[in-house]
Chains A and B, each alone.
Chain A
Amino acid sequence: MSLIKNSTQGFFKALPKNIFSGFVVSLIALPLGLGLAMASEAPPIAGIITAVVGGIVVAILGGSHVTITGPGNGLVGVLLIAITTLGINNAYAAIICSGGLLMLLGFLRMGKLADYFPSSAIQGMLAAIGLIILGKQFHIMLGNKIARASSFEYLLEIPNTIIGVFSYEDKGLSYAAIAGVLSLAIMVFYPKLRNKYLQLVPAPMWIVILSIAFSYYYELILKQPNPIHLDYMISGIPTFNQIITDIPTPDFGKIGSISFWSSAVALTLIASIESLLSIKAVDKLDPEKRRSNVNKDIKALGLATIGSGFLGGMNVVTVIARSSVNVNNGGSNRSANFSHALFLVIFIVLFSSQLTRIPLPALMAILVFTGYKLASPTMVRHIFSIGKEQLIIFFVTLFITLKISLITGIVAGILTTLVIHLILNKSIALFAKNILKPSVLMYKEEEGKGNYYISVKHFCSFLNYNKLKEKLEAVPEDKDVILDFSLCEFVDHTVMENLSSYQELFHKKGGHLEILGLDMHVTDSEHPFALRRVLPIPNILPNNLTKRQKTIEALTVDYNLKYDPIKHKNMDYLNSFLFFKTRQIEYTFNEISNAVSDFKMFDISFSEGEFIAKEVVRMTMVYVDLDIKIPAFTLDKEGFLERIYALAGFKDIQVDGHDDFSKRFYLLGEDEFAIKNFFKTALIRFFESNPYYHIESNGEGLLIFSKERLASVKEIKALLDFSKRLKSVIQTAVFVC
């Protein structure tokens, strides 16, 4: 009883934060929804309907916690084909059917469907989808609407469009192209500008705001019509009343045809893969470390898709980029998804007429950027680093998807993977004989701590990975697991990649997953993929130092400290800091430490968000290990951003008798009493008389940094000095009382 009461209380306490987060997400969902719908050749409002229906239904019935649902990138390619071949009303019927199929998958507990696809094939398919989006929208972005038969032709046409831009005779088209290029620039450079105030509004919303402002500037100040060509403005945004009166009727007339069902199946397949990948990735970001109920979520997504199809929307999927934004803005439960849907309704009710002021190229620039992220050269390089054979799988899937169709592409990817595995092992028997055997054994060791021990026999690849996954899922993530491959002759890249994400998950949640028995495979040389995945820490050679590194090295000699430029991956002590709750630490490098190593300064590389929303950030930080216990808190500069956070439910702790300090600093923590007790006059004087740093305590140590980038040598010196003095002030302050 009290548990229920507590969770209700917790829900209401977290509600303001979730509403705030839902608001930020809706700012992205609005332009993205419009764009994705138009890219699929559906009416623009369909994207918003999808997000609203998805947000409401999945928030109520779903099984995940911090995910956001709505129209997805991956589906653009399939929807485009469905709408062009079937016609929009038949496509709605196909969407409804795919919703039904998705629900069926959920009821049959087939949430694991995505496990049977090799990861390079999935990546190839996603890249192909990225190219389909990019290829088609690139032309519109530059003010050159063309119609071609296949995605390939769109891609081949790109150079012509670029050349054509310089010879537009119509000024309206040039303006359209400029709007597109500027928007693309905003998308590209936005993550690089780490300014708090700028980052408060997501990039797609900046594009919307700026283009509406531009249109008003012409209308109200210059008293001229908008210079952008009328064909390149969004049209056909209905008012709220129109949406309700004009609900399209799905046409089930083609339900007997093959093309209808191939569309429905393709929609289901992509919707489930995209959702499952997203749910899996978002679970890693969840600050409260919960596990999503995938099957329940799939059922809810299916139901939402049916509803969306009847109301004139598209397939509802879980989307990674918006979910990442949700987590980063403090979303902690499904009410964020719900409020994102509500804000979208509010936007449409209040501003639907304003949306027609957005130029089409600006919107398409957002999609071009997303498409590029799905098919970026970095991804190709990453796959190449895993192994050449992965690149073959990747490109086979990519080309066949582009050339023929999505389903053929993924089937070709699976077959290629299979053939490559057979060739590598020179044995069909290994797979044929053992595929049906329950080759994974897990038991809890009776001795000692009761670790879970998993042993895998024969082979472990995408074909039977689900057996291993089933066992891993049955282990609470805060336990220790030993996974032994010594009886296993072959482990493929899909398994290794999934395992490394399991390792991260266990690590985040306080457990540990150790993989044993692959050493044997090193000498065997038959397992190139597995090995490269296992030992991916490339070391910087000491003689290959940059200028900054050399200066730091000289500095450490002066200060009598140790310097180590090599990358380190084991960052356990950082995980308990609030700052890293939603961020994934990759490695630290350029570490400076003192003799007893209770004081460390390092450059750290971590990522925010997952998948295509992933941003890698590098910063310089100091970690101070205190010998004493202090309350956990976060201290930062008081400012505009913090006031907004305060509105959203974060509470600034006011230290009595130090109004100036409370005004200038923003202090946050759970144990308010202990924190107030800890912040004594001496400590407050110290903070008041020194430059601002972001300071975080996890109870045992301090994390200190100033800017969200690498520090210069000068800043390093200041940071070193500040941290040392802070440590001594804290220690004397605690010992005095």
Chain B
Amino acid sequence: MHLKSFNTIGIGIAFSPNLKANICEASRLALFFQSKLVLIHVGEESDEKISTLKSFLQPFLKAKIDFKIVFKTGDPVDVILSTSIDQRIDLLILGALQRENILNYYMGSIARKITRKAKCSVLLLIKPSEQSFPCNHIVVNGLKDPKTKETISTAFYVGHQLGTKKMTIVEEISQEEVSVKVEDDKSLRKANLVKERLKLREESRVKEIITQIPDDFKRDISIKTQPIFGKRGYSIGHYAQLARADLLVMNSPSKLNFWDRLFPHDIEYILTELPTDVLIVR
């Protein structure tokens, strides 16, 4: 089985109050994955900027971090997307914005466009911080989708690198699949039987995927599966929030068209309401 590894990590930077925290997070991840870090800034190059960045990177130089700073002018979305292709970036890190009340995080319009169009995996951070927090619990989707296999194996790769202790694979089963409408005791029993059957089917599918993951990655991680009946994409975010997950790993969305924007689903829900850090695997 082909295993994804993150050789080059990219981060788009702006000189905002969050800059130091963003750089710290990205550097730490680069060290964890033993990969190269590319800092992309949309704007003119200047010595002042370089020295600021270097001062922030100082603590990580001891650990021999391999980094590169790219300056380029133009439309932020285009610049970041083209640079990530030029530099062969495998993982792009983006920071989230915060609503007035502290509970909600969401992606700004630039980050959203990048997430939709990027060719590489994207990591959305809700609370970049200078200190490092352990990533204890990863929630990953187990949708019935050709991409799921790779997503789950990537989740295990990430979990292994970050020393995660717990992994929950969530099988979202859409309500439409339960063809029985609950109206009385009889239909309730029937609906529950159908649900039970769907659950077993999904579980065996996910188990099959798990057996293909190298044992090295599975060691020290307790694996749990959780079937959920609900709206695709939305429910998993809600679940991740409830389960106090540190990272949510999702499939990349299939091609989006006009209707998908109008009636948000899957990834769009996650973007408007980030429950935790989210990794979208491509």
Whether the pair B191, A474 counts as a contact (CB closer than 8 A) is yes
The stretch of B12-20, B130-138, B209-217, B229-237 in contact with A is B229-237
Whether the pair B184, A291 counts as a contact (CB closer than 8 A) is yes
Q: Which of A290, A295, A446, A457 touches B185 (beta carbons < 8 Å)?
A: A290
Whether the pair B183, A296 counts as a contact (CB closer than 8 A) is yes
Whether the pair B269, A437 counts as a contact (CB closer than 8 A) is yes
Contact code string B216-233 (vs A, CB < 8 Å = 1, else 0): 000000001111111100
Sampled A-B contacts (25; CB under 8 Å): A290-B184, A290-B185, A291-B185, A292-B184, A294-B183, A295-B183, A296-B184, A438-B235, A441-B238, A442-B229, A442-B230, A443-B226, A443-B227, A443-B229, A446-B224, A446-B225, A455-B242, A473-B188, A474-B182, A474-B191, A476-B188, A476-B189, A476-B192, A484-B242, A487-B103
With both beta carbons as reference points, the residue of chain A lying nearest to B99 in the complex is identified as A429
Q: Which of B189, B191, B227, B231 touches A438 (beta carbons < 8 Å)?
A: B231
* CB-contacts of A272-302 with B (<8 A): 290-296
Q: Which 3 A-B pairs have the closest CB atoms?
A: A293-B184, A438-B231, A441-B238
Whether the pair B183, A441 counts as a contact (CB closer than 8 A) is no
B241 in the interface, Cβ–Cβ < 8 Å? yes
B117 in the interface, Cβ–Cβ < 8 Å? no
Whether the pair A437, B182 counts as a contact (CB closer than 8 A) is no
A sample of 5 more A-B contacts (CB under 8 A), given A293-B183, A446-B224, is: A109-B181, A291-B185, A292-B184, A441-B242, A443-B227
Give complex CA distance A63, B103 in Å.
45
Residues of B within 8 A of A443 (CB): 226-230, 239
Taking the closest CB of chain A, its distance from the CB of B201, in whole angstroms, is 16
With both beta carbons as reference points, the residue of chain B lying nearest to A294 in the complex is identified as B183
Residues of B within 8 A of A484 (CB): 242
Give complex CA distance A476, B241 in Å.
26
* CB-contacts of A441-461 with B (<8 A): 441-444, 446, 453, 455, 457
Give complex CA distance A295, B187 in Å.
12
Contact A437-B183, Cβ < 8 Å, known A443-B226, A487-B241 = no
Residues of B within 8 A of A438 (CB): 230-231, 234-235
Whether the pair A474, B188 counts as a contact (CB closer than 8 A) is yes
Whether the pair B184, A63 counts as a contact (CB closer than 8 A) is yes
Residues of B within 8 A of A453 (CB): 242
Whether the pair B242, A291 counts as a contact (CB closer than 8 A) is no
With both beta carbons as reference points, the residue of chain A lying nearest to B192 in the complex is identified as A476
With both beta carbons as reference points, the residue of chain A lying nearest to B239 in the complex is identified as A441
Contact code string A107-138 (vs B, CB < 8 Å = 1, else 0): 00100000000000000000000000000000
Taking the closest CB of chain B, its distance from the CB of A620, in whole angstroms, is 37
Whether the pair A473, B235 counts as a contact (CB closer than 8 A) is no
Residues of B within 8 A of A474 (CB): 182, 188, 191-192
Give complex CA distance A457, B103 in Å.
11
Contact code string A458-484 (vs B, CB < 8 Å = 1, else 0): 000000000000000110100000001
Give complex CA distance A318, B239 in Å.
40
Q: Which B residues contact A (CB, under 8 angstroms)?
A: 103, 181-185, 187-189, 191-192, 224-231, 234-235, 238-239, 241-242, 269
Give complex CA distance A96, B235 in Å.
44
With both beta carbons as reference points, the residue of chain A lying nearest to B168 in the complex is identified as A446
Give complex CA distance A725, B86 in Å.
94
Contact A457-B183, Cβ < 8 Å, known A441-B228, A443-B227 = no
Give complex CA distance A437, B234 in Å.
8
Residues of A within 8 A of B103 (CB): 487
Residues of A within 8 A of B226 (CB): 443, 446
Taking the closest CB of chain A, its distance from the CB of B119, in whole angstroms, is 30
- For chain A, give the interface size range: 20 to 34
Give complex CA distance A390, B183 in Å.
31
Give complex CA distance A216, B229 in Å.
68
Give complex CA distance A487, B273 in Å.
13
Whether the pair B192, A63 counts as a contact (CB closer than 8 A) is no
Give complex CA distance A30, B103 in Å.
60
Whether the pair A291, B235 counts as a contact (CB closer than 8 A) is no
Give complex CA distance A63, B182 in Å.
13
Give complex CA distance A541, B273 in Å.
48
Taking the closest CB of chain A, its distance from the CB of B195, in whole angstroms, is 8
Whether the pair B184, A473 counts as a contact (CB closer than 8 A) is no
Taking the closest CB of chain A, its distance from the CB of B210, in whole angstroms, is 15
Give complex CA distance A294, B103 in Å.
39
Residues of B within 8 A of A296 (CB): 183-184
Q: Which of A290, A444, A455, A473 touches B182 (beta carbons < 8 Å)?
A: A473
Residues of A within 8 A of B192 (CB): 474, 476
Give complex CA distance A432, B190 in Å.
36
Residues of A within 8 A of B242 (CB): 441, 453, 455, 484, 487
Taking the closest CB of chain A, its distance from the CB of B76, in whole angstroms, is 26
Contact A455-B185, Cβ < 8 Å, known A437-B269, A443-B229 = no
Give complex CA distance A439, B239 in Å.
11
Central interface residue in B182, B183, B192, B229, by most chain A CB within 10 Å: B183
Whether the pair B238, A457 counts as a contact (CB closer than 8 A) is yes
Residues of B within 8 A of A444 (CB): 227
With both beta carbons as reference points, the residue of chain B lying nearest to A474 in the complex is identified as B182
Give complex CA distance A446, B242 in Å.
15
Give complex CA distance A109, B187 in Å.
14
Taking the closest CB of chain A, its distance from the CB of B270, in whole angstroms, is 12
Q: Which of A63, A439, A476 touches B183 (beta carbons < 8 Å)?
A: A63
Residues of A within 8 A of B191 (CB): 474
Give complex CA distance A507, B226 in Å.
27
Taking the closest CB of chain A, its distance from the CB of B98, in whole angstroms, is 15
With both beta carbons as reference points, the residue of chain A lying nearest to B231 in the complex is identified as A438
Give complex CA distance A441, B103 in Å.
18
Give complex CA distance A95, B27 in Å.
74
Contact A441-B188, Cβ < 8 Å, known A295-B183, A455-B242 = no
Residues of A within 8 A of B234 (CB): 437-438
Residues of B within 8 A of A290 (CB): 184-185
Taking the closest CB of chain A, its distance from the CB of B174, in whole angstroms, is 11
Residues of B within 8 A of A446 (CB): 224-226
Give complex CA distance A109, B269 in Å.
28
Residues of A within 8 A of B241 (CB): 487
* CB-contacts of A141-198 with B (<8 A): none
Taking the closest CB of chain A, its distance from the CB of B194, in whole angstroms, is 11
With both beta carbons as reference points, the residue of chain B lying nearest to A439 in the complex is identified as B238
Contact code string A409-443 (vs B, CB < 8 Å = 1, else 0): 00000000000000000000000000001110111
Taking the closest CB of chain B, its distance from the CB of A441, in whole angstroms, is 4
Give complex CA distance A473, B175 in Å.
14
Residues of B within 8 A of A455 (CB): 238, 242
Central interface residue in A63, A109, A441, A487, by most chain B CB within 10 Å: A441
Give complex CA distance A487, B185 in Å.
31
Whether the pair B230, A441 counts as a contact (CB closer than 8 A) is yes
Residues of A within 8 A of B183 (CB): 63, 293-296
Give complex CA distance A642, B17 in Å.
84
* CB-contacts of A706-733 with B (<8 A): none
Give complex CA distance A292, B183 in Å.
7
Residues of A within 8 A of B225 (CB): 446
Give complex CA distance A446, B226 in Å.
7
Taking the closest CB of chain A, its distance from the CB of B222, in whole angstroms, is 12
Give complex CA distance A446, B182 in Å.
22
Taking the closest CB of chain B, its distance from the CB of A516, in whole angstroms, is 12
Taking the closest CB of chain A, its distance from the CB of B156, in whole angstroms, is 20
Whether the pair B188, A291 counts as a contact (CB closer than 8 A) is yes
With both beta carbons as reference points, the residue of chain B lying nearest to A473 in the complex is identified as B182
With both beta carbons as reference points, the residue of chain A lying nearest to B178 in the complex is identified as A474
Taking the closest CB of chain A, its distance from the CB of B206, in whole angstroms, is 13
Residues of A within 8 A of B224 (CB): 446
Give complex CA distance A439, B238 in Å.
8
Residues of A within 8 A of B187 (CB): 293
Whether the pair A441, B182 counts as a contact (CB closer than 8 A) is no
Give complex CA distance A416, B234 in Å.
31
Contact code string A574-604 (vs B, CB < 8 Å = 1, else 0): 0000000000000000000000000000000
With both beta carbons as reference points, the residue of chain B lying nearest to A64 in the complex is identified as B184
Give complex CA distance A290, B184 in Å.
8
